[in-house]
Amino acid sequence: MNSLTGKIAIVTGAGSGLGKAIGETFAAEGAQVVLTDINLENVTNVAAQIGPQALALEQDVVDEKRWEDVFLETQDTFGAPHILVNNAGLVIPATIEDCTLDQFRTTNAVMLEGVFLGCRAAVKAMKSSEQLCSIINLSSMAALQGYSPFVAYAAAKGGVRSMTKSVALHCKEQNYPIRCNSLHPAGIDTPMVRQEAVGASGDATPSTGMIPLGGLGHPNDVASLCVYLASDGSRFMTAGEFPVDNGMLYKPA
């Protein structure tokens, strides 16, 4: 449908999983995409599959200076960005009894501080745009329900949830053309989820059809909602939190 034609997007953690699906779907909808990942080989392969409308960049989202460079390289290659998807993340299994301080700090550095740095860089780059702009932060159902086996992950995602609202309200107060929303997926069939939650075996989740209660979602289930929130069709939506959970919030598995 090309709902993102004329848009320039940056997607972090785009070398695999959700980030890869979001980057591919954005490109299919007409956007030029800058795909970043700490694993340059992976993200370069994704960009090569998409073609000339994609640029792969190496990025560690906890590196403050690198955020400046990513936005400058985006500007130099495609122009000023209109969309940022803060997706990069990691999972360290640990409960409140066995989570170390280093594990807690590492998790929050990537998934909370990294999102803060991305939002700050995006607001600076987008606030004078003549187009509507969108920041999409990947949070989690763990931010809405808690998740005892991953205490640091839940804490970081809870911070993303509330920070998203603060960013959105600031942009409205300043009359910037920027919306900011958070997505809250439940279990999505990605390499990270399979490794940490359900193991490496089993059939991949179909991309179409109904999903039974307790089943994993497909990365496209998240990517499709990202397309809508990135497009001008969602211009009246900001500071929102959107579960992508197959009803889990109201009937926990």
Catalytic residues: 153
CA distance 79 to 57: 15
CA distance 53 to 77: 10
CA distance 137 to 141: 13
Residue 69: exposure state from Cβ atoms within 10 A (0-12, 13-18, ≥19): middle
Contact call for residues 242 and 186 (beta carbons, < 8 A): no
Coil, helix or strand at residue 17: helix
Closest CA to 153 of 168, 166, 138: 138
83-86 sheet: strands from edge to edge: 54-58, 32-37, 8-11, 83-86, 133-138, 178-185, 241-244
Orientation of helix 17-28 relative to helix 40-50, angle to 10°: 20
Contact call for residues 70 and 51 (beta carbons, < 8 A): no
Contact call for residues 139 and 157 (beta carbons, < 8 A): yes
Q: Phi/psi of residue 8, each to 5°? A: -120, 125
CA distance 149 to 250: 20
